[in-house]
Chain A
Amino acid sequence: MKMEKIVEVQFSEQELQTIEKLKSRYLKPDSVILEVLYLLQEKYGYITREGMKYAADLLGISEEHVLGVVTFYTMFNTKPVGKYHLQVCTNVSCMLKGAYELLKKLESELNIKKGETTSDGLFTISEVECLGSCGTAPVIQVNQDYYENLNEEKLLQLINELRNK
């Protein structure tokens, strides 16, 4: 059985200070939970059980509460994702402009299905809801960046660029 390596979760002094500063923006400090989770995800790639426990201790709230929040928001990953997270919007405006065809192309090009990660850990494909970019459909979000007005050619070019990065 392959054992997941347990990474010890610890924010640096500077990160802790950033969180402290953010706390002062709110009437109650646990409002910073989303920012704590973002930081965990940035640092460790995804949010582990250890990460949730750490967040709970940091904010003085229960682990169950943290778990509830993590699972409510789609942008938090509880499993590892590839180096490039390809998030394909297939909602109506994008669908009308060929988003499903793009998704299929992506799946065949990378030889994985949506929700999966390539074996080299480079790409994960997800189908996502409207990205608020319907005027420049179809749209794919790669990690934080939007790639708008896509077509098959541009998409394949983008994949090749990412592969060679």
Chain B
Amino acid sequence: MSIKILLKDIPDYHKIEIYRQHGGYENIRKALQKTPEEIIEEVKKSGLRGRGGACFPTGLKWSFMPKDKNIPKFLCVNGDESEPGSFKDRQIFEFNPHQLIEGILISAYAIGAQTSYIYIRGEYAKWIRLMQKALDDAYEAGFVGEKMKETFGTDFYTNIYIHRGAGAYICGEESALMNSIEGKRGYPRVKPPFPAQYGLWGYPTTINNVETIANIPAIIQNGGEWFASIGEPKHPGTLLFGVSGHVNKPGVYELPTGTLLTDIIYKYAGGVPGNKKIKCVIPGGTSMPPIRGDQIEGLKMDAESLKQVGSAIGTGGIIVMDEDTDLVKVLARITKFYWHESCGQCTPCREGTGWMLKILNRILDGRGTSKDLDLLIDVANNIEGHTICALGDAAAWPVKYMIERFRDEFEARVNRSIKIEIPNKVHSMRRTQVPLKEIKINKD
């Protein structure tokens, strides 16, 4: 039995009239008859954990919001979706925008937010348009904004606005996202204070991922217990797994948590082209530790199971690499990303990512030594845990774990004899940076 909560096989589900035909916007009506506390309890009971990468329990996060009704409160829905390997939230924007809107209404009610922002990365121009269309329709139908009072006969209402970013991975970090909404550079803030105490413009704010919020109407409709019974008990529900890289049918697959990684790759994503072996898999976007091809047998895809193999579920973005993949190149590319995206506030992250990139490029050029591998791990260790936000860890983990788990491949690269094609041997040798004894001259 396949269960679909987010990406249903209903034609034109993105249209408001079709969504309503299937019970859409009835869940907010139902929710408004309960107290906000009851909704939070229901979400706690569901066991829903955030889909933005950190798997934080959603109900618990909501319960941190102060109950004071006389101060502004905000909900930010995180659709920055810039983690390499992730392309799931855009499926919701495109195919199920009204469920997201209804989810926002219920969530905003639960935490008492009068204003909600959907933060969408600027590059997603098409998906911003689609989402705006859905939002306009929902406003017109009286489901959003002040008209809610009339439609649902309550005091509560919330406005929903789209805030588009302008190209910066770091704005997906929750406090950077708030600074970006405030019209500032997207610098992460030092925590504590946490957003529930000091968020947008200093007022209580909750930040949740798009996929997290899109699950809420189904939880209200069918109850927390129903949701908790899907997939793995400690990390229940379905996940939108985005599969890319060396697979025959890349794409987004909605499957219960705990689905076998091998099933996702072979049954759903059609296996590896040319039936090649898998060398490496990144299970949850590039920020998560890569795992070896021989670790995937029997591996379930949920937060706890991935922890056991020394990785994490992240955003569920699975990147598959076949046996011919050059992992040094992959790691250098990943590191280049974090170096480019580092906001520059913390020295370990700003400088460390650059150093790691330089060393990796040196290895790529064939000028690396085995000392470089330890140096890389040393730099990574000096970044991890020593920064304002988790981008530092995200940059350190791939380096640490890729080298640890594929030591042989990296060793082979740095121990390769250095071949230099030289027309004028003496002259070139004098100029080369490489110690002479390491040079083996090609005789033929």
Q: Write the A49-89 contact mask toward B (1 if CB under 8 angstroms, else 0).
A: 00000000001000001001100111110000000000000
Minimal Cβ-Cβ distance residue in A for B168: A73
**B residues less than 8 Å from A75 (CB atoms):** 122-123, 166-167
User: Cα distance A101–B303 when bound, in Å?
Assistant: 36
A39 contacts partner chain B, Cβ-Cβ < 8 Å = no
Cβ–Cβ contact A34 & B84, under 8 A: no
B-contacting residues, A109-165, CB 8 Å: 129-137, 141, 144-146
Given A32-B183, A133-B87, are A92 and B282 neighbors across the interface (CB < 8 Å)?
Answer: yes
Q: Write the B151-185 contact mask toward A (1 if CB under 8 angstroms, else 0).
A: 00000000101011111110000000000111111
**A residues less than 8 Å from B82 (CB atoms):** 129-130, 132
A9 contacts partner chain B, Cβ-Cβ < 8 Å = no
Cβ–Cβ contact B200 & A92, under 8 A: no
Q: Write the B329-340 contact mask toward A (1 if CB under 8 angstroms, else 0).
A: 110011001001
Contact residues on A (Cβ < 8 Å of other chain), bracket: 35 or more
* Pick from A32, A72, A136, A146: contact of B126, CB under 8 Å: A146
* Pick from A28, A32, A73, A130: contact of B84, CB under 8 Å: A130
Cβ–Cβ contact A73 & B167, under 8 A: yes
A90 contacts partner chain B, Cβ-Cβ < 8 Å = yes
**A residues less than 8 Å from B57 (CB atoms):** none
**A residues less than 8 Å from B169 (CB atoms):** 129
User: Cα distance A11–B249 when bound, in Å?
Assistant: 47
B208 contacts partner chain A, Cβ-Cβ < 8 Å = no
User: Cα distance A38–B163 when bound, in Å?
Assistant: 12
Cβ–Cβ contact B166 & A96, under 8 A: no
B414 contacts partner chain A, Cβ-Cβ < 8 Å = no
B72 contacts partner chain A, Cβ-Cβ < 8 Å = yes
Cβ–Cβ contact A69 & B183, under 8 A: yes
Minimal Cβ-Cβ distance residue in B for A96: B245
Cβ–Cβ contact A135 & B251, under 8 A: yes
**B residues less than 8 Å from A134 (CB atoms):** 84-87, 242, 244-245, 250, 317, 319
Cβ–Cβ contact B183 & A34, under 8 A: yes
Minimal Cβ-Cβ distance residue in B for A136: B250
**A residues less than 8 Å from B164 (CB atoms):** 34-35, 38
B268 contacts partner chain A, Cβ-Cβ < 8 Å = no
* Pick from B81, B163, B334: contact of A132, CB under 8 Å: B81
Cβ–Cβ contact A95 & B333, under 8 A: yes
**B residues less than 8 Å from A144 (CB atoms):** 125-126
Best-buried of A31, A65, A141 by chain B (most CB within 10 Å):
A31
**A residues less than 8 Å from B319 (CB atoms):** 92-93, 96, 134
Cβ–Cβ contact A132 & B182, under 8 A: no
Cβ–Cβ contact B121 & A132, under 8 A: yes
B-contacting residues, A98-115, CB 8 Å: none
User: Cα distance A28–B186 when bound, in Å?
Assistant: 17
Q: How far is the CB of A49 from chain B (nearest CB, A)?
A: 18
Q: Write the B81-113 contact mask toward A (1 if CB under 8 angstroms, else 0).
A: 111111101100000000000000000000000
Given A27-B200, A130-B337, are A92 and B167 neighbors across the interface (CB < 8 Å)?
Answer: no
Cβ–Cβ contact B330 & A95, under 8 A: yes
**B residues less than 8 Å from A131 (CB atoms):** 123
Q: How far is the CB of A29 from chain B (nearest CB, A)?
A: 9
B246 contacts partner chain A, Cβ-Cβ < 8 Å = yes
Best-buried of B90, B124, B126, B183 by chain A (most CB within 10 Å):
B183
Minimal Cβ-Cβ distance residue in A for B340: A129
Minimal Cβ-Cβ distance residue in B for A135: B250
User: Cα distance A27–B140 when bound, in Å?
Assistant: 24
Cβ–Cβ contact A25 & B166, under 8 A: no
Q: How far is the CB of A43 from chain B (nearest CB, A)?
A: 16
B313 contacts partner chain A, Cβ-Cβ < 8 Å = no
**B residues less than 8 Å from A136 (CB atoms):** 250
**B residues less than 8 Å from A133 (CB atoms):** 87
Given A30-B183, A134-B84, A135-B243, are A145 and B126 neighbors across the interface (CB < 8 Å)?
Answer: yes
Give A contacts to B, CB under 8 Å.
25-28, 30-35, 37-38, 59, 65, 68-69, 72-76, 90-93, 95-97, 129-137, 141, 144-146
Interface contacts beyond A90-B333, A93-B244: sample of 7 additional A-B pairs, CB < 8 Å, sorted by A: A31-B163, A31-B181, A75-B123, A132-B87, A134-B244, A134-B319, A141-B123
- Could you pull out 25 A-B pairs where Cβ atoms are within 8 angstroms? A25-B159, A25-B161, A27-B72, A27-B200, A30-B183, A32-B183, A34-B183, A35-B164, A65-B184, A73-B167, A73-B168, A76-B167, A91-B286, A92-B334, A93-B244, A95-B329, A96-B245, A96-B330, A129-B82, A130-B82, A132-B123, A135-B87, A135-B242, A145-B126, A146-B126
Which 8 residue pairs across A and B have the least CB separation, nearest first?
Answer: A74-B167, A73-B166, A75-B167, A134-B244, A130-B84, A93-B244, A144-B125, A33-B183
Give B contacts to A, CB under 8 Å.
72, 81-87, 89-90, 115, 121-126, 159, 161, 163-169, 180-186, 200-201, 203, 242-246, 250-252, 282, 286, 317, 319, 321, 325, 329-330, 333-334, 337, 340-341, 343
